[in-house]
Structures are given as C-alpha cells and as structure tokens.
Amino acid sequence: MTLSPRAFQSASILVVGDVILDRYWSGATGRISPEAPVPVVHVTVSEERPGGAANVAANVAALGAGVMLIGVTGADEAAAVLADRLEALRVRCRFTRVAGSPTTVKLRVLSQHQQLIRLDFELHNEVGGWMEQLFEDFRSALPGAQVVVLSDYAKGSLANVERIIDLARSQGKPIVVDPKGRDFSRYRGAQVLTPNTKELEAVVGECAGRDELIDKGRRLCETLGLAALLVTRGERGMLLIPREGEETEFPAKAREVYDVTGAGDTVVAVLATALAAGQDLKHAAALANTAAGIVVGKLGAASVSVEELAAALHDEVGAAAGIVSENVLIGLVERARLRGETVVMTNGCFDILHAGHVRYLAEARALGDRLVVAVNDDASAGRLKGPGRPVNPLAQRLAVLAGLRSVDWVVPFTEDTPERLICRVRPEVLVKGGDYRPEQIAGHGCVTDGGGRVVTLPLVAGCSSTRVVTALEGLTEGGSRS
C-alpha cells in the first residue's frame, strides 16, 4: 500500500507493560568537583518523556493510531507527570497507582549530548493486590483493541503475563511481545516476539552464525506456538524468522546512530500498528526496520511520524539500487511495495551486453516501477550456453547491468532456472524475451497464482550474444580486419 498520512488511523492498539518516566538533565561541564573527581554539570535544561511501555504507546500515537496504555505507577508526582505527557500525545491511560512506591524513573544527566550518569528509581515489584486491578483494566479494554502489545522491562507489571496472553488469545487478539529475561516460555501463545540477538541467545544458546540463529529461532517458534520472531541485530539490521516459510533479512537503515535508547519500543510499536492496519508480517517488519533506522538518529526515547516513515521509504528505495544479495533484495522489494510500486522481474545470462538487451530491459522497466534482473552465475551460464561460456565473468556482467538506467536491482542465482528465486520475490510482472508461451516461462505458476502477470517481449532482430561470440571467433581465426 502507499504510506499516506492516514495509513494507520484505523488501527487500535492496547499496550500493557512497565511504564517508565525518562528524565533528562543537561548542561555544560566546565570544572571538576572539589568534593570528588567528577564533573560538575550546570543544569540548564530539564526534559521528561514517556519511557518503556509508555514510549511504545507514544510511538503508536505518533503514527496516528488509537492507543490505550495499561500499567502500574506509584502514587506520586512522577506518575502525574507521565499521565499528563501521555494525554498530550493522545494516549489514553489506565494506571494502577500503588501507594508507598515510587514510579519507575530513569534520570539521565548529560553534557554535550553525552550521558554522564543514570539514576534509577524503581517501582516496588512485589506482586500484590494491584495485579488484579491491572488484569481487570486489561479485560475491560481488550474488546476495543485489534492488536495487543506487551512491553516487558522486568519491572513487575507483567508478572502475570500468562494470564494476559490466555485472555487475549481467547478473544482472537494477536499479541506482539517485547520480551525480557531468560524464560520466554512465559510468552507462549503470542504471535510475534521482538528480542535482540543477545536476548535470544540468552534463551536458545550462543549461535555461531546466521544459519544457526535461524534454526534455533525456528525451533523456539515451534515450541512456544509463535508465528515468528523479529530479531533486532544492531548494525546488521533485522531478521524475520517465521515458524513456517523462509526467513527475511532487513538491512540496517540508520545513516548515523546517535542514541539507541527506545529503539526497541519503536520497533514493537510500528510492527503492531502495521499489523492492525492490515499489513502482513513481512511488510510490517519492513516498516519497523525503517522506523528503527530513523529513531536511532534522535536523542533519547523518541517516536517516528508517518511523514518521516514515508520519506525514509522513498529515500532508501531510491538509493539502494545496484547489485544485491537475495536476502537484501527481498527486503528492498517489500519496501517498494509499501510505497505502492509495481515490481517487474526478468532473468538471463547477459553474457555480452548488446543493443537488443538494452532495448529489452528498457521495455521491461516500462511495465512497472522497479526492475529486478536475475543473472545466471558462471556455472549455470556455462551449463546453459556450453563450453567457453560465459565470456565475461559474473562480477563484470552484474556491474554492467547495474549501470543501466532501466535496472534497479541485479541479483545472481546458481540454479539452472530462476524459478525458486522468482517464487520468493513474486513480482507483479514477470518478463521474458523470445517466442515462449507464458506458461513455459520459469516462475509462471508462482506469479499468476499471486495475482501477477507474465509478459513476453520480442527480441531485436540481428542481436545476440552468440552471434557476437561467433563473429569474434571468426576474427581470431582469420586475422584482423580493418
């Protein structure tokens, strides 16, 4: 879909979890304290923002969706400040206020945008009578929600998380969890968990590489009945591991990492909101990845607007043209579709690029908004074309194709046909040159089953790589001609 300013207005999210007030005191440091070897900060700016589950709710509201937040606070000034900040952001709140306990507050002291110290004030997390009040608030709010988000910061609000998940499941509500701790069995029955790599490895064990991470993640999905894990991997982006089907890798999109505080909150908020707005899991994850790239460029716990998200999608799809791996291509295609763009795909060896190729690719590109060219690697091209081929190695063929104005993304494949790759990309338009009948073209069934179409384009008479090779061989055998 096209990401318009009203893209998420129909969504309704219920956020439950550990609410936090983030406080920032900042100012200049010009001297060292005579009392201890620490800098003296002359505080000139004081700022207060929602954190934890409250930041998740603020992120949902920034997207234009409806959101209610349920959590536990103290009966103190910090709780009142937090409620005021959230109401100003159009977040409806139901707080259970515990007398004699402080609201969870994280106070950060900064100078020149560098954090010098953090002071934490913790909610008393003993499970008491207030747990029943929180659950009743959840029960009454649940019918009005499309998706439930559980934001766990291990502060005690989700000590009874199993009961919350059971009730949500009984009413058919999808549950997205930002987990905490080593016992993910507490979240059994949720739809998606969004751990980072370290959090996931604390549960499944250290993983030697990407393949082992996927294998262990998929087994965890099966054990806990999850639809998927969306694993955040820092500078390596995100990895969507479904219980069934192929994984999808989303490359990191941050131009400059300024502050990672609250990035996980943004991920879970955008993912849940996109799901509530009707996006499938891959599209929702692609949006969450893009949003994370925006928010880490901001100071402190921050949110992302629909306008920022739409602009980032436009910039990254346009800038990411060129030679890509298969996994990166899938992420790029997903984001192109989020912008309402039509993806066209074709394939070939493209051994010696000639005028016929250039014209053919331009005509293919004219059938949509983005053109993907899948290219046989050297081994498969040799099997297809015979001894001595290809003349130009894969790296050179990819580079030449990527330089054409009509081509957006070039991806190599190793099989004799690109059918598997085409079925994974599922382009809206599949193009092949020559006299093929559409049903003879590799990938025809996958594309048409998905609602796409298969198009054949005529070849340019007198243009072929084989003819060029034959002419060159004749020159070599007969000597130079002038």
Nearest Cα neighbor of 298 from 54, 113, 103, 161 is 113
CB count, 10 Å around CB of 24? 19
Amino acid (one-letter) located at 416:
D
| Burial (Cβ within 10 Å: 0-12, 13-18, ≥19) of residue 212 | middle
Query: Which residues have CB under 8 Å from 97's CB, separation 6+?
Result: 72, 73, 74, 75, 79
N-terminal to C-terminal alpha carbon distance within the chain: 57
Nearest Cα neighbor of 294 from 315, 273, 279 is 315
- Element housing 164 (H / E): helix 161-170
Cβ contact 167:138 at 8 Å: yes
Handedness of CA 240, 319, 371, 377 (dihedral sign): negative
Q: Known catalytic residue: 377?
A: no
The active-site residue out of 18, 152, 178, 265 is 265
Nearest Cα neighbor of 425 from 328, 361, 333 is 333
Tokens standing for 230?
Answer: 């969306």
For residue 104, give the 3-state DSSP assignment.
coil
Handedness of CA 220, 14, 19, 272 (dihedral sign): positive
In the β-sheet with 39-52, what is the strand arrangement from edge to edge? 39-52, 19-32, 105-111, 114-121
Positions annotated as catalytic residues are 265
